[in-house]
Amino acid sequence: MKLNLVQAQVGVRWVKLGIRTFFRQPLALAGLFFMFMAAMTVASQIPIVGVALAMTLLPAATLGLMSATLEANRGRFPMPAMLLAGFRAGRPKARAMFILGGLYAMGFLAAMGVSWLVDGGAFASIYLGGAAPTREMMLEPDFQAAMWTFIGLHLPLSLLFWHAPALVYWHELSPAKSLFFSLVACLRNFWAFAVFAIMWLAVLVFSVACVTAVGALLGNPGLVGDILFPVLLIMAAMFFTSLYFTFQDCFDPGAGTAAR
């Protein structure tokens, strides 16, 4: 395994590849993403342990979407079983995926717990779906402080786990090494990831503007809400499709991962 350093403009390429690959198999990739979301939602509803269970499954589920992206990029139809790729690759890799999931769940809950201490749980309740947000609540200084506290703690956690499941699966690294090299890859290629984030933000703003314009032209503002939610879900599916390409360019291909 070799870590690659890429230019900032590669971040644009990652976004383009994600969108292009999604449209190669839109029904399959959108369907897998919706299954992923449904599984996470159902798991999170289990009393007491739901959120921890959902977060434990997240790294493996993300790996499943990356595997599906590879299949789609090769012109094949990704089947639902791809979501379980991390657990179907043998006991050592399945164990490593569970370890990664447990570590991610602990990190997520720790970040959420710190935010709870800041505002008494208002932000956590909204983020986890236990309460409906109100304008007054979101403007509260304590709420905003809790939100930025969570973001500040969750960002390094995300960088640690960005490539980790793929490194475990395709390069057979241990969970500890995969976390280390994931963080190093993200930091060494900081500008490419910054461009990647800015490009997806631009796509988001453009899509919302287009939906809003359509509603205004049709004289039906209520249509915006009806259209916007599925559009955002499709965009999220495209984003997850693009994740594979960030991994592919940051590391030399492992067994069976070349997708150019």
Write out the chain's pLDDT in tens, 260 residues. Answer: 789 999 999 999 999 999 999 999 999 999 999 999 999 999 988 988 999 999 999 999 999 999 999 999 999 999 999 999 999 988 999 999 999 999 999 999 999 999 999 999 899 988 887 677 777 888 889 999 999 999 999 999 999 999 999 999 999 999 999 999 999 999 999 999 999 999 999 999 999 888 888 877 877 767 777 788 888 999 999 999 999 999 999 998 764 465 44
Tell me what pLDDT residue 259 has: 47
DSSP-assigned letter for residue 5: P
Residue 220 is predicted with a pLDDT of 72
Burial class (CB in 10 A: 0-12, 13-18, 19+), 130: exposed
What per-residue confidence (pLDDT) applies to 33? 96
Residue 6: phi, psi to the nearest 5? -120, 160
Q: State the CB neighbour count (10 A cutoff) for residue 141.
A: 8
Ramachandran angles phi, psi of 220, nearest 5°: -135, 80
- Rounded CA separation 137/146 (Å): 12
Measured at the alpha carbon of residue 73, what is the angle toward residues 229 and 30, in degrees to the nearest 5?
20
Question: Which backbone phi and psi does 10 adopt, to 5 degrees?
Answer: -65, -25
The pLDDT of residue 260: 43
**Strand runs labelled E in the chain:** none
Residue 27, SS3? helix
Partners of residue 149 on adjacent β-strands? none
**Residue 68 burial class via C-beta count within 10 angstroms: exposed 0-12, middle 13-18, buried 19 and up:** buried
Burial of residue 217 (number of CB atoms within 10 Å: 0-12, 13-18, 19+): exposed
pLDDT computed for residue 211 by the predictor? 85
